Amino acid sequence: MSVFVVTFGVILLAVLAMAIGVIAGRKPIGGSCGGLGAVGLECEAGCAKPCPKRRARMKAQAEEEE
């Protein structure tokens, strides 16, 4: 039982430290692998209809190219 309590306490401290970092305005934890762009996917689900943010980015890129 003491191992459980110690493990729970360590995990609780780690979560608390991450929460304090987010509250303090630091950059959230991010991956280093490059995300979906690294594997050539445009959208998580391979969707045909992009979300509004994606459509805005696509429109801005199209205007830049012209």
Token pair listed for 25? 């305005």
What spatial distance separates the first Cα and last Cα of the chain, rounded to whole Å?
A: 67
**What pLDDT sits at residue 26?**
66
**What pLDDT sits at residue 44?**
58
How far apart are alpha carbons 29 and 26 in whole angstroms? 9
> Per-residue DSSP letters for 7-46?
HHHHHHHHHHHHHHHHHTTPPPP--SS-GGGGGT-SSTT-
**What pLDDT sits at residue 13?**
96
How far apart are alpha carbons 22 and 30 in whole angstroms? 12
* Annotated domain spans of the chain: 1-26
Per-10-residue mean pLDDT of the chain, 66 residues long, equals 96 92 72 62 63 83 81
